[in-house]
Amino acid sequence: MTVERIFDELGHFNRYQACLYFAAVFQAIACGIHYLASVFLVQTPNFVCSVPGNITDVLYGNLTGFSLEDILPIFKSDTGPLVVRTAEGEQWELSRCRCALRINPKNFTYDFDGNKTVKACDGNFVYDLTEIHQSIVTDWDLVCENEWLAKMCQPTFMLGVLVGALVFGDIADRVGRVRILMFTSLCQFGFGVSVAFSGHYYFFLVLRFLLAMVSSGYLVVVFVYVTEFTGIKVRTWTSMHVHAAFAVGIMVVALTGYLVRVWWIYQIILSTCTSPFLLLCWKFPETPFYLMAKGRYKETQTLLDAIARFNGLECRLKVQELLEPEERENGKALLEEAEQQPLQSEKKLSILDLFGSWRMARRTCTVWAIWFIGSLGYYVFSLGSVNLGGNQYVNLFLAGAVELPSYLVGCFAMDRIGRKKTCAPALLLAGVACLLIIVVPADIEALAIALCMTGKFAIAIAFGLIYLYTCELYPTIIRSLAVGSGSTMCRVGSVVAPFCVYLADVWTYLPQLIVGILAFIIGVLTLLLPETLGRPLTTTLEEAEALGREPSKKNSALGNKDAEDRM
């Protein structure tokens, strides 16, 4: 089919496409919101064991107070316990997960050499509520032996992201893009609000898993949707800036987290801030590519007429002109017959075709590695930004804001120096930034934050371009396999990322060390990939192999024209 002619006749990004694009991308903000919302949902404030009786005096080193609330904001669990005295005269030493009753103390002093009776907290805790008024941790006491339950929230969500990408990506090819966009948008709103009223940890976890599935489904399908409604001249920019809407969602999370410190109110606000989209999505049209592929020619013509009217143009383009010459001669019957009887070679294609030769296998492994480290680094920088010191809300806001210029830089670089020469330096810069964070003195928080933002800036470029780069590296017959398998590796990286962030409990800089080493190694391997800028998309395995072997800069007339358009 020559469906791309639509954009030559009606505009690559005219008014109609622009309105659809910004409306569809607006809802992608909700995906960024829900992906990172757990940063503040599962916050753990300072806490200590509670004791029976009313506390009258508190000691912490040289500090004194009359209640735990006076001392908890400055309490550090690694510097010693809190010592309290109750109205009954008992003295207790309180730590996070243990408490000790002093036996027959003589004086109320911080140091005590006598006997103590040590016991577990038994689910009784006192939390510092000055910063966090209410989180799921304080509501359901997800600390000490239950701490792992809080840490499972984000990995479980990312597992839902993986399942959603696999399920909805396939369904969208069967029932259409618009139906999935409407369904996932409605479910995002419904599940998002339901999470706020879950009332129980496991119900909360299940609802978040379902929310992750529909959020991932929307993000996967909206990328295809906007790509099939924009022309080649702007496709690099439109595909990259879907990620920019995701970054705006991260910024919304930081701002809402700063203003709202009660988790269920915070969740409701985040779930409703993109709800106006629900009033628009039912008017979205199906894409011309999908309609043509399904043989729905009357609907395609109606869509073309509507686009032309909205853009203030006269529609002289007929659906018949979008068919190949053979299809025009033989009519719709030939097209239906071709769809019903696919070629034998298409039936036999499998993921093993991505490893058909040593050269293709090396390419596939490198591309998968880029997908993995792009996702892993992206979420490690985002989730870990709140642990860098300074104001955690400002840090997360910056982690989202720094992506916006990264996509601008990435688009300019991709069109001028190529995909490989943009991706490899970006990964190398992210690796160097991670390793430099390790050597920065702990008391220079501003420099550590600046290096983290530099790493996020670089990894966002690589993460944003890999989808388009993968499309160009593989021939048509296995392109969907390549992108689908790469996307799966991306989701695996997002599942691993929270566990990588939790390794900071072992050593503060272990997450940065892992991401830094992997990003540097994969950045070097990326230099071995072929360049695709200015080349037409390949259709056969032999052409894809030649792309890696031949340094020739010869392009077809179409390829040269596309390259000039992108410049």
**Residue 275, number of CB atoms within 10 A of its CB:** 16
Residue 48 φ then ψ, to 5° = -145, 170
User: How far, CA to CA in Å, does 216 sit from each of 7, 136, 150, 187, 211?
Assistant: 29, 23, 22, 12, 8
pLDDT of residue 1: 47
pLDDT of residue 294: 80
**Closest by CA position to 461, among listed 488, 495, 433, 489:** 433
Q: Is the per-residue pLDDT at 548 higher than 90? A: no
pLDDT of residue 425: 95
Residue 556 φ then ψ, to 5° = -70, 165
pLDDT of residue 423: 93
Rounded CA-CA distance 427/431 in Å is 6
User: How far, CA to CA in Å, does 164 sit from each of 186, 217, 218?
Assistant: 15, 5, 9
pLDDT digits (tens, 9 = 90+) for 156-201: 999 999 998 888 877 887 888 899 999 999 999 999 999 999 989 9
pLDDT of residue 542: 58
Alpha helices of 348-402 — where are they, by DSSP H?
358-384, 392-401
CB neighbour list of residue 425: distance below 8 Å, 6 or more residues apart: 523
Q: What is the CA radius of gyration of the chain?
A: 28
Amino acid at 232: I
pLDDT of residue 221: 86
Q: Are 63 and 51 in contact (CB under 8 A)?
A: no
Higher pLDDT, 321 or 67: 67
- E strands in 382-520: none
> H-helix or E-strand containing 48?
strand 47-49
Q: Is the per-residue pLDDT at 76 higher than 80? A: yes
Question: 1-45+139-324 in CATH: which number?
Answer: 1.20.1250.20
Rounded CA-CA distance 26/249 in Å is 10
Q: Is the per-residue pLDDT at 212 higher than 90? A: yes
Amino acid at 428: L
Domain pair 1-45+139-324 / 351-550, same fold: yes
Rounded CA-CA distance 194/426 in Å is 39
Provide the sign of the torsion angle of the four alpha carbons 250, 252, 257, 262, taken in this order. negative
Q: What is the mean pLDDT of residues 73-82?
A: 86
Higher pLDDT, 160 or 348: 160
Rounded CA-CA distance 161/45 in Å is 28
Phi-psi region of 65 (alpha: psi -120 to 50; beta: other; left: phi over 0): beta
**Residue 109, number of CB atoms within 10 A of its CB:** 10
pLDDT of residue 430: 95
Rounded CA-CA distance 72/129 in Å is 9
Rounded CA-CA distance 523/466 in Å is 13
Percentage with pLDDT > 70 across the chain = 87
pLDDT of residue 540: 56
Q: What is the mean pLDDT of residues 104-131?
A: 88
Q: Which of 167-176, 424-433, 464-473, 532-541 has the lowest mean pLDDT?
A: 532-541
Tell me whether strands 91-94 and 47-49 are parallel, antiparallel or unpaired.
unpaired
What does pTM read for this prediction? Answer: 0.84
CATH class name, domain 351-550: mainly alpha
Q: Is the per-residue pLDDT at 365 higher than 90? A: yes
User: How far, CA to CA in Å, does 148 sit from each of 70, 155, 180, 207, 451?
Assistant: 29, 11, 34, 18, 30
Q: Which of 70-84, 197-211, 224-238, 442-456 has the lowest mean pLDDT?
A: 224-238
Rounded CA-CA distance 166/228 in Å is 20
Q: Is the per-residue pLDDT at 469 higher than 90? A: no
Measured in whole angstroms, the distance separating CA 21 from the mean position of its chain's CA atoms is: 20
Rounded CA-CA distance 15/209 in Å is 37
Q: Are 84 and 92 in contact (CB under 8 A)?
A: yes
CB neighbour list of residue 255: distance below 8 Å, 6 or more residues apart: 393, 397
Q: Is the per-residue pLDDT at 205 higher than 90? A: yes
Q: What residue segments make up the domains of the chain, in order of their start?
A: 1-45+139-324, 47-130, 351-550
pLDDT of residue 441: 83
Round the average pLDDT of the chain to a whole number and report it.
Answer: 84
pLDDT of residue 549: 54
